[in-house]
Amino acid sequence: MAEDYLVASDYVMIVIYFVLVLAVGLWSTFRPNRNSAAGYFLAGKDMHWIPVGASIFASNVGAPMFIGLAGQAAASGFSVAIYEWHAVYLLIALGWVFVPVYVASGAFTMPEYLKKRFGGKRLRIYLSSLALVLYVLTKITSEIYSGAIFMRQLLGWNLYLCVVIILAVTAFYTIAGGLAAVIYTDTLQTVILLIGAFILTVMSFVEVGGWEQMMRKYATAAANYTLADPENNTCGMPRKDFMHIWRDPVEGDIPWPGAVFGLTTLGLWVWCTDQIMVQRCLSAKDMSHAKGGSVLAACLKILPFFLWIIPGMISRILFPDEIACADPDKCQAVCGNRAGCTNIAYPLLVLKKMPDGLRGLMLAALLAALMSSLTSIFNSASSMFTMDIWRRFRRHAKESELMIVGRVAVVALIGVSILWIPILEESQSGQLWSYLQAISSYTAPPWCWVFLLALFWKGTTEAGAFWGLMIGLAVGGTRMILDFVYPAPFCGSNDVDNRPDVLTKVHFLHFAIILSAISVISTVGISLVTKPRPPEKLRRVTWWTRHDPQDPEETDSEDEIEEEDEQPVQKEKKKSGPGRKVYNWLCGISDEPKPKLTPEEKAFIKAKMTSLAENKFSKKVANIAAILVATLTAFLLGFFY
């Protein structure tokens, strides 16, 4: 039981962690720029490159990284590293290609960018709605599910108690502080996360006897009953190509054509068009800091290979009977999942190999990753709901109303997430990481190509983009439904694999390539036969027009929303009691009269929000750093071919 492992020093480390996070979160709520949309959603657009990069990394390294990435490595070896090192190039593309266009357009959110690029309202509402659904069904649920696996192994606490405590603390400083609180706490959590993971990696290497011993022992890391009868338990043995990243195009678990082409569409969606990641770069004080933040995040993405993939493989070596179980009944007894137990590889390593005190630090690191991702999801979803959906119904909503709605949206997401927990308990996946990537393969490619065509082809029309998405949704949704209707038989079971050929013979990453082709052909074809957007409406919204000195023309017929100035408060000042003060603090509003901005002040603020100016020295440093990290990644991909 968990009580046998945790001691007083472990609980002390957990308490210290919570105190630090709450202190940083509360400190950030008292900083300026909270009582405006730019301040709440873009941290006042005044963030330094270090917290921007750390927040991008921490937002991605959630509990699924501990559970899914380490578990996938335990199951198949090095191949999963392609997901992490592939992201290096996409993060560079984020800073150098995508962010300049987003900044020039003056968009707060990705749906808002599509609105500025194409006009109309269908794309903006569809993207916002789909993103919110995917946040609840995949991102938030995977975080909660992963955290539940870890905490059940480590603490033995009641699942709902753990989730309620984490969500309550997470929501408190997200609601109160906005993106500034998220970014500053992310920076603290990244440090804790890296320290804990680094310590466990070193200890694991020492335990297993070094690199050469790890490679030798992993090749035979299987349960005793598998080794006793390997011919009848082949699925319990490690893959023969475990030491390679680039796998066979037909038999490989991550086939190399899919890793090169299919994974690129998934990665572009996650790193270059997802609100969670882009929002951090948009909060940077200028383009140099945005690029610096993306390069820092790219550097940090090299680390998961050493911090989670290697420990996941070592866990299989140290605990083969548990992690490498090859019989559904035995797996059910070990971890409660008949599909397999590789998901517990990292928690088991922490539980049995970390010394007193450090075990608590690693739990704090898990909580840091879990809460970091949840805060990012909550804040970004709040931004999209407020800016892209609420304002459809409240066209002239005041700033204070948007602040309140943004916070209420976070509370609503928390409620939906808690209601989803029972479904999570029933739907256990043998390979969480592969499951999440498969879902992305069915939904991400159409959106990826809409953004790419929007940036680089002026001829892309709103009708082409919308119907290209609809066709892509139909095709991808069909494959996803088939995946749920025809699940793969468990390893070691006698069930017949009666899945259709589209599931058994077409890897999900290969399917992403097919879906991309369908989406591009549909979008381009429909765009060619529909009326193109006039040039005066494409200023500052494409790669080719990002430096245009003039703003794009906007018309009421395209459903533009005009922002009204906040009116001065009533001449008679409201009485401000203790309750009212607490309400104002939580909602980021004030009863004090708000000075009306002059046209010159408005122009200055808009210029800051849309400036692409860079310091020459900083620009050169960022370019050199990007080249170095790209070269290092290419070497690693070649070395572990």
Residue 291 near residue 621 (C-beta atoms within 8 A): no
**pLDDT cut 90: percent of the chain above it:** 30
| Locus of tokens 């990243």 | 245
Residue 178 has pLDDT above 60, yes or no: no
- When computed from its CA atoms, the radius of gyration of the chain, rounded to whole angstroms, is 25
Look-up of token digits 């409240």 = 394
> In this predicted model, which residue has the larger pLDDT, 480 or 367?
480
- Identify the band that residue 478 occupies on the pLDDT scale cut at 50, 70 and 90: very high
Least confident of 177-191, 287-301, 530-544, 559-573: 559-573
Cα(34)–Cα(53) distance, rounded to whole angstroms? 22
Residue 583: which residues within 8 A CB-CB, separation 6 or more?
none
Spell out the residues 6+ positions from residue 438 whose beta carbon is closer than 8 angstroms to its own: 483, 508
- Residue 388 placed within a domain: yes
Q: How many CB atoms lie within 10 A of CB 80?
A: 28
Residue 243 pLDDT exceeds 60: yes
Given a cut of 50, whether residue 2 has pLDDT beyond it is no
Backbone angles phi, psi at 470, to 5 degrees: -65, -45
Please indicate, yes or no, if residue 258 is contained in any of the structural domains. no
Distance separating alpha carbons of residues 40 and 28, to the nearest angstrom: 11
Contacts of 430 (CB under 8 A, 6+ apart): 337, 339, 340, 342, 343, 490, 491
SS3 state of residue 262: helix
Is 296 part of any domain?
A: yes
Partners of 255 in beta bridges = 247
What does each C-alpha distance from 372 to 69, 167, 182, 337, 368 come to in angstroms?
Answer: 17, 11, 7, 27, 6
pLDDT of residue 600: 62
The pLDDT of residue 370: 72
Where is pLDDT greater, at 421 or 221?
221
Whether residue 179 is contained in a domain is answered as yes
- Alpha carbons within 13 angstroms on the beta-carbon side of residue 606 total 11
Least confident of 258-262, 317-321, 425-429: 425-429
DSSP 479: H
434 lies in a domain? Answer: no
Whether 235 is in a domain gets the answer yes
Q: How confident is the model at residue 34 (pLDDT cuts 50, 70, 90)?
A: very low
**What's the pLDDT score for residue 591?**
53
CATH code assigned at 42: 1.20.1730.10
Name the DSSP class of 566.
P
Task: Report how far apart, in Å, the C-alpha atoms of 604 and of each of 35, 100, 594, 597, 600 are.
Answer: 19, 19, 18, 10, 6
Question: pLDDT tens digit string along 76-133?
Answer: 899 999 999 999 999 999 999 999 999 998 887 787 888 889 988 888 788 778 878 7
392/198: higher pLDDT: 198
Residue 409 belongs to some domain of the structure: yes
Least confident of 355-359, 426-430, 609-613: 426-430
pLDDT at res. 584 = 55
The b/e string for 357-379 (b: 16+ C-beta within 10 A; e otherwise) is ebbbbbbbbbbbbbbbbbbbbbb
**Is residue 562 domain-resident?**
no
In terms of residues, how long is the chain?
A: 641
Average pLDDT over the chain, rounded to an integer? 79
Q: How many domains does the chain have?
A: 1
- Return the SS3 of 37: helix
Give the pLDDT of residue 293: 92
Residue 247 phi/psi, 5-degree rounding, is -105, 165
- Residue 139 pLDDT > 50: yes
Percent of the chain whose pLDDT exceeds 70: 77
Range of the domain at 235: 2-245+281-418+593-639
| pLDDT tens figures, 485-527 | 887 777 666 667 788 888 888 999 999 999 999 999 999 999 9
Q: Is 332 helix (H, G, I), strand (E, B) or coil?
A: helix
pLDDT tens by residue, 396-439: 777 677 778 877 887 787 777 777 666 555 544 456 777 788 88
pLDDT at 3: 46
Give the pLDDT confidence score for residue 274 in this predicted structure: 84
Rounded Cα–Cα distance for residues 248 and 255 (Å)? 5
- What mean pLDDT do residues 219-234 have? 77
Q: What is the pLDDT of residue 541?
A: 93
Alpha-carbon distance 299 to 293, whole Å?
Answer: 10
Q: What pLDDT score was predicted for residue 551?
A: 80
Which range has highest mean pLDDT (225-229, 288-292, 419-423)?
288-292
Q: What distance in Å separates the CA atoms of residue 315 and residue 319, rounded to the nearest whole number?
A: 6
Angle, CA 192 vertex, CA 311 and CA 61 arms, to 5°: 60
